[in-house]
Amino acid sequence: MECFNKVDIRDNEENTIISSNQVALNEGRLILLGDFPVLLSHGVRVNATGFLEDGFVDFSGTVSLSVENQINLTDIVLGEKMDRRNFLKVKAPFEGILLMGYEMVNGKKTLLTDEPVRIRDVSVGGIGFYFGKSLIKKQKILLELDSIREGFVAEAVVLRKERIRHEILKYRYGCRFLSLDNVQQSVLCKYVFKTQLEGRRKTPGLYDDDEYEVDSAETDN
């Protein structure tokens, strides 16, 4: 077993209750050091995520020691390693919310808040979506993506903008995620991995590139 750079221990509702970036292995024991606000019961089995340079692993372990500055886990059972480099873009036909962004109207910059957008695809590194308003390129935006996980909010930068032939959804955008923390990356990886495994089929006529034809004359304006 590789030694993790960081370990998060979760409760039954998948919330992180303990986090440590001081992790060591000693004769099959996983030792976490830090200043822990929660003490775990001896012998209880917990679920956790271990973070590596190139991915993460979900695992379970039994608490053999839990004090204010140290937690020991034994009987470690590892799940499948999720390698960030292997996650491709997946189709993701769901609705999100543009919490904050700016459009340009008649040469004037206007703030947009709480605007619905239609997500097209998601990867660990970025997201594509359809939207009826003309966002300014290279700006930072804030997106709420409850279909990935309730309350999931991510910052992104608008890299690509294409005009499409659709009455309501007039533009297609491509964005890169910014400053994702380990938890956000883990949530995204799990969503993409799950979607890849399910082999989700496209819903006919929904967010389909054949329907939303790009008007090449107005690409990247």
Q: What is the pLDDT of residue 90?
A: 87
Q: What is the mean pLDDT of residues 156-185?
A: 88
Q: How far lies 82's CA from each of 57, 119, 156, 187, 210, in Å?
A: 6, 24, 23, 11, 32
Q: Is the pLDDT of residue 219 over 70?
A: no
Where is average pLDDT lowest: 11-20, 48-57, 204-213? 204-213
| Residue range 186-203: mean pLDDT, rounded | 71
Q: Is the pLDDT of residue 201 over 50?
A: no
Interval 124-158: pLDDT, tens: 889 999 999 999 999 999 999 999 999 999 999 99
Gap between the Cα atoms of 63 and 169, Å rounded: 52
For residue 200, pLDDT beyond 50: no
What is the predicted pLDDT for the residue at 205?
A: 41
**Beta pairing partners, 175:** 127, 158
Cite the beta strand spans of 93-152 per DSSP E. Answer: 95-105, 108-112, 115-122, 126-131, 140-144
- Give the HSE-up count for residue 150: Cα atoms under 13 Å, Cβ half-sphere: 3
- Mean pLDDT of the residues in the chain: 84
Mean pLDDT of 185-210: 64
